[in-house]
DNA sequence: TGCGTTTTGTTCTCACGTTCACAAACTCCT
DNA sequence: AGGAGTTTGTGAACGTGAGAACAAAACGCA
C-alpha cells in the first residue's frame, strides 16, 4: 500500500525551497571549513546569498533545528539538510556521451564530495571504448541495462548531441533510471514518475542577453 | 493606458516568461528545420514542453504576432522572439578558466548558432598560453581589460575553481562586464546592475536526489 | 529568580505565476 | 454572403512564493 499514515506525515517541501537546500548545504560546508561551529540565520543567509527571513522559512519546513537566541549548530544543520535531500549516502550515477562535455563531467570532483558516485561512462562510439577517462573505462552504450541493474542506478546524465538525447533517455527509462540530468539542448519527453532537469548554456546566455539589451536601451552610452 | 508611447515602449516581461522565450526560439528553429512554416500554439507548446495557454500568454507579452484561426508564422515569430531577447546580432563573450570545463565550453558549437561569439579564452596558468583550444589562442587573464575594451564585451563566463571565482568576477566587473554566467559552485557578490546566473551541476543532481528519495519512500519495491 | 537581549519560528500580506475558459477574429466552404 | 469551424489573446480564479513583522523561546547576568 502506498497509504501515508498521519504519523508518517511526509512533509511537503515547496519546490523553491528544495532548490535552495543544496545552496544552504554548501554554505554550511564552507562555514564548517572555516572552523565556524554556530551561525545565525543572518550569517547563513549572507553566505548563501538569500534573505534571512526566506532562509528561516525554508529551514522551518524541515523542522525546528535552531535555538532561539543562539542560532544553528553548523554540523547538526548540515546533517539534517543532507538527510532531507537524501545525500547522506552516495547515489550511483551513469554518464552517457563522453565527448567534450562528458570528459569534463567525468573529471568533475564535485560528484564524490556532494553525494554522488560515477559508476560508469558510456558512449556509442567504439573508438572510445576501453579508453580511460578520469580513471574510469568507457564502456559501450549497450551495457547500460546491465550496469543499471547491477549498481541499482537511479540517476543518469545525458551529454550526447541533441539528436540522440531522446533515444538515450528512452533507453535509460526502459533500463529503470527515473531521474535524468540533461545537458543536450532539447526537450525530453518521459513517462510520469521520471524526473528530468536540464542544464542549458544557451538558454542562460540568452536570458543574460535579454537583460543586457535592456540595460543598453535605458542607459545610452 | 495600453498605448505604447515611444518613451514607454519598453514593456515589462515577467522573468518566468523571459526564461521560456529561448525554449520557444529553439522549438521554432526545430520546426523550421522540418520545413514547417506555420504552427498553432498547441503545436509549439508541445514542441517546447509547456502548456499552450502559458505559451500564448507568454507570447502576448511580446505583441500580437499570431492570426486567430490560423496560428503563428514560424519564421516571423522566430524573428520577433530573437529580437525581443536581443540575439539578432551576436554578443561577444569571454571565457575565463580553460580547464576541463573551459575546454568543453570553448568547443561548444551552440555559441555561434544561438547569438554569441567567443572572442577570447583566458587562463591564469602560463602553461596554457599560446595553446589553441577550439581554434582560439588561450591568453593571459591579465589581458581581460584590454579584450573587454576592444571588443565591447558585456558577457563573461567563469569556469575557474570555486576559490578563484569571486576574484575573477571582481576583475570582470571592474573591466566593464555586466553579465556573468558562473559555473563555479560558489555564491558571487556583485554590485547592483550586474546580472549573475549560475549553472550548478551538484545542485541539479541534489534536487533530483531529493525527489528520488521520496519515490523510494512512498513506493516500496 | 527576574530582566534585558538575541534570534528563531510563524503568521500575515502582497506579488508573481499558472491555468481555465471564452469572446473575438480569422479561414474555409457552400 | 453567411455559417461552421478553428485558434488566438486575455480576464479572472487559483496557487505558490517572498518578505515584513512579531510573539515565543532561549541565554546571560545581576
Ligand atoms: N561542450 C559544451 O560545453 C556543452 C555545453 C552545453 C551543452 N552541451 C551539449 O552537450 C552535448 C554534448 O556536447 P559535446 O560538446 O560533448 O559533444 P561531443 O560531440 O563532443 O560528444 C558527444 C558524444 O556523445 C556520443 N554519442 C552520440 N550519440 C550517442 C548515443 N546514441 N549513445 C551514446 N553516446 C552517443 C558521441 O560518440 C560523442 O562521444 C550536446 O548536446 C551539446 O549541445 C555541450
Ligand atoms: N568539470 C565539470 O564538468 C564541472 C561541472 C560543474 C562545475 N564545474 C566547476 O567549473 C569550474 C572549473 O572546473 P574544471 O573541471 O574545468 O576545473 P580545472 O581545474 O580543470 O580548470 C580550472 C582552470 O581555471 C584556471 N584558473 C584558476 N584560477 C584562475 C584565475 N584566478 N584566473 C584565471 N584562470 C584561473 C586554471 O589554470 C585552470 O585551467 C570549477 O569551479 C568546477 O567546480 C566543473
Looking at the complex, report in whole angstroms how far the Cα of residue A42 sits from the nearest Cα belonging to chain B. 15
The pLDDT value given to residue A9:
47
CB < 7 A from strand C, the residues are A 39-42, 52-53, 56-57, 59-60, 64-72; B 14-17, 50-51, 53-54, 56-57, 67-70
Structural fold of domain A91-203? Rossmann fold (3.40.50)
- Answer whether B96's CB lies under 8 Å from B75's CB: no
The pLDDT value given to residue B12:
87
Looking at the complex, report in whole angstroms how far the Cα of residue B68 sits from the nearest Cα belonging to chain A. 27
- Render pLDDT for A154-175 as a digit per residue (tens, 0 to 9): 999 999 999 999 999 999 999 9
Percent of chain B predicted with pLDDT > 70 = 93
The pLDDT value given to residue A118:
98
The pLDDT value given to residue B5:
37
pLDDT bucket at B216, cuts 50 / 70 / 90: confident
pLDDT bucket at B22, cuts 50 / 70 / 90: very high
Q: Which residues contact B65 (CB under 8 A, 6 or more apart)?
A: B59, B72, B73, B76, B77, B80
CA–chain centroid gap for B94, Å, is 14
Question: In 3-state terms, what secondary structure has residue B114?
Answer: coil
Sheet holding A155-158, edge to edge: A132-133, A136-140, A116-123, A91-96, A155-158, A179-182, A195-198
HSE-CB at A51 with a 13 A cutoff on CA atoms is 4
- Render pLDDT for B184-195 as a digit per residue (tens, 0 to 9): 999 999 999 999
Q: CA at B53, C1' at D13: how many angstroms apart? A: 15
The pLDDT value given to residue B24:
98
Is A22 within 8 Å of chain B by CB? yes
Total count of residues recorded for chain A:
221
CA of A158 to the centre of ligand 2 (A): 21
Q: CA at B32, C1' at D2: how many angstroms apart? A: 36
Q: Which residues contact A96 (CB under 8 A, 6 or more apart)?
A: A102, A122, A123, A141, A144, A156, A157, A158, A159, A160, A168, A172
The pLDDT value given to residue B218:
62
Question: What architecture is the A15-85 domain classified under in CATH?
Answer: Orthogonal Bundle (1.10)
Q: Alpha carbon of A42 to those of A17, A49, B23: distances in Å?
A: 17, 10, 37
Spatial separation of the C-alpha atoms in residues A182 and A185, rounded to whole Å: 8
pLDDT bucket at A219, cuts 50 / 70 / 90: low
- Answer whether B184's CB lies under 8 Å from B165's CB: yes
Spatial separation of the C-alpha atoms in residues A175 and A155, rounded to whole Å: 11
Residue of A nearest to B23 (CA): A203
Q: CA at A46, C1' at D19: how many angstroms apart? A: 16
Residue of B nearest to A47 (CA): B187
Return the ligand number nearest the Cα of B98. Answer: 2
- Render pLDDT for B138-158 as a digit per residue (tens, 0 to 9): 999 999 999 999 999 999 999
Helix axes B15-33, B52-62, angle to 10 degrees: 100
Q: CA at B116, C1' at C26: how many angstroms apart? A: 38
Q: Name which of A147, A187, A152 is nearest A169 in CA terms.
A: A187
The pLDDT value given to residue B219:
57
- Render pLDDT for A7-55 as a digit per residue (tens, 0 to 9): 344 568 999 999 999 999 999 999 999 999 999 999 999 999 999 999 9
Spatial separation of the C-alpha atoms in residues A193 and A152, rounded to whole Å: 17
CB < 7 A from strand D, the residues are A 14-17, 50-51, 53-54, 56-57, 67-70; B 40-42, 52-53, 56-57, 59-60, 64-72
Total count of residues recorded for chain B:
221
CA of B140 to the centre of ligand 2 (A): 15
The pLDDT value given to residue A183:
98
Spatial separation of the C-alpha atoms in residues A85 and A22, rounded to whole Å: 8
- Render pLDDT for B83-128 as a digit per residue (tens, 0 to 9): 999 999 999 999 999 999 999 999 999 999 999 999 999 999 999 9
pLDDT bucket at B49, cuts 50 / 70 / 90: very high
Spatial separation of the C-alpha atoms in residues B38 and B28, rounded to whole Å: 10
Which DSSP string corresponds to chain A?
A: -----GGG------HHHHHHHHHHHHHHHHHHHTT--EE-HHHHHHHHTS-HHHHHHHHHTT---EETTTEEEHHHHHHHHHHHHT-SSPEEEEEE--SHHHHHHHH-THHHHTTEEEEEEEES-GGGTT-EETTEEEEEGGGHHHHHHHHT--EEEE-S-HHHHHHHHHHHHHHT--EEEE-SSS-----TT-EEEE--HHHHHHHHHHHHHHHHHHS--
Task: Give yes or no for residue B107 CB within 6 A of ligand 1.
Answer: yes
**Which of 106-125 (B) contact A at CB < 8 A?**
107-108, 110-111, 114-116
Is the CB of A104 less than 8 angstroms away from the CB of B107? Answer: no
Q: Which region among A36-45, B53-62, B212-221 has the lowest average model confidence (pLDDT)?
A: B212-221
Give residue limits of the domains in chain B: 15-85, 91-203
Q: Name which of B156, B153, B124, B127 is nearest B140 in CA terms.
A: B124
Q: Name which of B92, B99, B109 is nearest B178 in CA terms.
A: B92
Average pLDDT (A73-78) is: 98
Task: Give yes or no for residue A161 CB within 6 A of ligand 1.
Answer: yes
- Render pLDDT for A189-205 as a digit per residue (tens, 0 to 9): 999 999 999 999 999 99
Amino acid at each position: 500500500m502506498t497509504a501515508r499514515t498521519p504519523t508518517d506525515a511526509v512533509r511537503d517541501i515547496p519546490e523553491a525551497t528544495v532548490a535552495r537546500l543544496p545552496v544552504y548545504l554548501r554554505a554550511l560546508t564552507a562555514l564548517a571549513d572555516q572552523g565556524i561551529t554556530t551561525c545565525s540565520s543572518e550569517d547563513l543567509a549572507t553566505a548563501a546569498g538569500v534573505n534571512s527571513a526566506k532562509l528561516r522559512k525554508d529551514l522551518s519546513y524541515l523542522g525546528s533545528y535552531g535555538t532561539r537566541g543562539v542560532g544553528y549548530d553548523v554540523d547538526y544543520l548540515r546533517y539534517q539538510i543532507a538527510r532531507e535531500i537524501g545525500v547522506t549516502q552516495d547515489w550511483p550515477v551513469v554518464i552517457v556521451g563522453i565527448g567534450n562535455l562528458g570528459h569534463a563531467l567525468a573529471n568533475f570532483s564535485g560528484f564524490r564530495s556532494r553525494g554522488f558516485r560515477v559508476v560508469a561512462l558510456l558512449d556509442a562510439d567504439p573508438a572510445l571504448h576501453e579508453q580511460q577517462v578520469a580513471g574510469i573505462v568507457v564502456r559501450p552504450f549497450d551495457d547500460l541495462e546491465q550496469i543499471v541493474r547491477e549498481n541499482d542506478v537511479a540517476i543518469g546524465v545525458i551529454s550526447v548531441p541533441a539528436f540522440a538525447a531522446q533515444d538515450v533517455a528512452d533507453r535509460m527509462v526502459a533500463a529503470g533510471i527515473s531521474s535524468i540530468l540533461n545537458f543536450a539542448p532539447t526537450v525530453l519527453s518521459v513517462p510520469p514518475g521520471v524526473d528530468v532537469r536540464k542544464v542549458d548554456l544557451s538558454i542562460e546566455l540568452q536570458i543574460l542577453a535579454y537583460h543586457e539589451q535592456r540595460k543598453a536601451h535605458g542607459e545610452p552610452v
